[in-house]
Amino acid sequence: ELYELSLPEKVERIQRREFVRIHVVVPIEYKIEKNEDNKFLKGILVDISGGGLRFATDNEINVGEVIELKLRDINTEDEILIKGQCVRLNKESNGKYICAVSYYEMSNKIREKIIESIFTLMRKQMAIR
């Protein structure tokens, strides 16, 4: 028997993530690594995963800049310090900026803490529904 195969008419791209991403609204502090004033600024965490996060800020951040981020561990309330790089910046209609950050030089211990916090948040969100 002989079969003839043809290419599909429509190809659909499916996004595959290495880490689960969860939407949150949590205060976060950040500073641009190269800034001389070394002052942490306030922002709002929009979503987070084991590979990166997005946060809202009033300040414009250049793509490629290295950022230090401070957030609270959901389970222990410990402060978690994360280093990341701005990979994308979008300006919203309300004037705020949404900065997408990819983690940079992260230890497995910190990544595990973040993933643990994500699953805790997911369980809490499912309990509410």
The answer to whether 97 and 60 are in contact (CB under 8 A) is yes
CA gyration radius for the chain?
19
Number of Cβ within 10 Å of residue 126's Cβ equals 8
Which ranges in the chain belong to alpha helices (H)? 108-128
> At CA 109, angle to CA 105 and CA 114, rounded to 5?
90
| CA-based end-to-end distance of the chain | 54
DSSP string, 100-129: EEEE-S--HHHHHHHHHHHHHHHHHHHHH-
pLDDT of 15 above 60: no
DSSP string, 19-47: S--EEEEEEEEEEETT-SS---EEEEEEE
CA distance 90 to 74: 27
Structure confidence by residue, pLDDT tens digits, 49-81: 888 999 999 999 999 999 999 988 777 788 889
pLDDT at residue 22 in the model = 83
Please state the pTM of the whole predicted model: 0.78
Higher-pLDDT residue of 117, 92: 92
